[in-house]
Structure 1
Amino acid sequence: MEMEPIIQQHYPNAKTGEEITFNYLNLLAREYKTNLKKMLFATSLCSDDVNVSTDFRKVLNRPFSMGGLGGLPYSGLTGMVAFSHHIPDGGDAFIFYGPHIGITDEGELGRMRRLGQKKLTNSCGALMLALERFQQEDKGEETYVPHLVEYDYQQVLLEQMLMPFKDRIIHSENPKKEITEVAYYKINKQINRLVRMSIKEFRCQKIFLLGGIIINTSEDYHDYVDIRNFEVIHTKEQEQYIPNSILETEAFKHL
Structure 2
Amino acid sequence: MKELEHTIRSHYPNVETGNEVTESYLNFLQHEYNADLSKMLFATSLCCDDINVSTNFRKVLTRPFSMGGLGGLPFSGFTGMVAFAHHIPDGGDAFIFYGPHIGMTDDGELGKMIRPGQTQLTNSCGALMLALQRLQQESEVYVPINSELDYQQTLLERTVMPYKHRIITAANPQKEITEVAYEEIHKKLKLLIRMSRQEFKCDRIFLLGGVIVNTSPNHQDAVDIRNFEVVNTRESDDNVPAFSILESDAFMNL
TM-score by length of 1: 0.96
Asked if 1:37 is matched to 2:38, the reply is: yes
Q: 2:249 is matched by which residue type in structure 1?
A: E
Corresponding position of 1:167: 165
Corresponding position of 1:150: 148
Corresponding position of 1:193: 191
- 1:182-234 residue CA offsets vs partner (Å, 9 max, x unmatched): 00000000000001100000010110000000000000111000011101011
Q: Does the C-alpha gap of structure 1 residues 18 and 110 become closer, same or farther in structure 2, counting only changes over 3 Å?
A: same
Asked if 1:83 is matched to 2:81, the reply is: no
Corresponding position of 2:249: 250
Give the deviation of 1:246 after TM superposition.
2.1
* Distance (whole Å) between structure 2 residues aligned to residue 152 and residue 26 of structure 1: 40
* Distance (whole Å) between structure 1 residues aligned to residue 62 and residue 236 of structure 2: 26
Q: 2:184 is matched by which residue type in structure 1?
A: K
Q: Structure 2 matches for 1:111-190, cutoff 5 A?
A: 111-137=112-138, 141-190=139-188
* Distance (whole Å) between structure 1 residues aligned to residue 109 and residue 9 of structure 2: 13
Q: 2:104 is matched by which residue type in structure 1?
A: I
Give the deviation of 1:250 after TM superposition.
2.9
Corresponding position of 2:66: 65
Unaligned runs of 5+ in 2: none
Q: Does the C-alpha gap of structure 1 residues 242 and 6 become closer, same or farther in structure 2, counting only changes over 3 Å?
A: same
Give the deviation of 1:248 after TM superposition.
3.4
SS in 2 for 1:112: strand
Corresponding position of 1:28: 29
* Distance (whole Å) between structure 2 residues aligned to residue 129 and residue 245 of structure 1: 35
Pick one of 222, 225, 235 that aligns with 1:224.
Answer: 222
Asked if 1:55 is matched to 2:51, the reply is: no
Give the deviation of 1:237 after TM superposition.
1.6
* Distance (whole Å) between structure 1 residues aligned to residue 244 and residue 148 of structure 2: 30
SS in 1 for 2:74: coil
Q: 1:246 is matched by which residue type in structure 2?
A: I
Give the deviation of 1:6 after TM superposition.
1.5
SS in 1 for 2:230: strand
Give the deviation of 1:124 after TM superposition.
0.1
* Distance (whole Å) between structure 2 residues aligned to residue 214 and residue 194 of structure 1: 22
Give the deviation of 1:242 after TM superposition.
3.8
RMSD: 1.2
- 1:138-164 residue CA offsets vs partner (Å, 9 max, x unmatched): xxx122110110111100000001100
Contact 2:87 2:201 in 1 (8 A): no
Unaligned runs of 5+ in 1: none
* Distance (whole Å) between structure 2 residues aligned to residue 92 and residue 247 of structure 1: 26
Count of residues paired in the alignment:
252
SS in 2 for 1:126: helix
* Distance (whole Å) between structure 1 residues aligned to residue 92 and residue 56 of structure 2: 20
Identical amino acids, percent of aligned pairs: 66
- 1:86-129 residue CA offsets vs partner (Å, 9 max, x unmatched): 01101100000000000000100000011011110000000000
Q: Does the C-alpha gap of structure 1 residues 212 and 247 become closer, same or farther in structure 2, counting only changes over 3 Å?
A: farther
* Distance (whole Å) between structure 2 residues aligned to residue 38 and residue 4 of structure 1: 36
Q: 1:171 is matched by which residue type in structure 2?
A: T
